[in-house]
Amino acid sequence: MLTDAQLEAMTAAVENGYYDIPRDISTAELGDQLGISDQAVTERLRRGISTLAANTMLAKSNS
């Protein structure tokens, strides 16, 4: 399950085009919007993606 902080960061990333190619926003800009550092944004996104992967792909392969 995602933490509230991870969900907030991931939602902001999707809504602001972080995952678009090319990116429409940087982690520094996301951090400014969220009131946190770009390093904190990156950590929240990476941990959130890891959690989603574990709960979807890995869980499915174990069933």
Q: Where do the DSSP E strands lie in 1-63?
A: none
Contact present, 29 and 23 (Cβ < 8 Å): no
Give the orientation angle of helix 4-15 with respect to helix 38-53, to 10 degrees: 100
pLDDT value for 41: 99
Averaged pLDDT for residues 31-41: 99
pLDDT score of 58: 75
Distance CA 57, CA 53 (A): 5
pLDDT band (50, 70, 90) for residue 2? very high
Q: Give the mean pLDDT of the chain.
A: 95
Give Cα 56 to chain centroid, integer Å.
Answer: 16
pLDDT of residue 20: 98
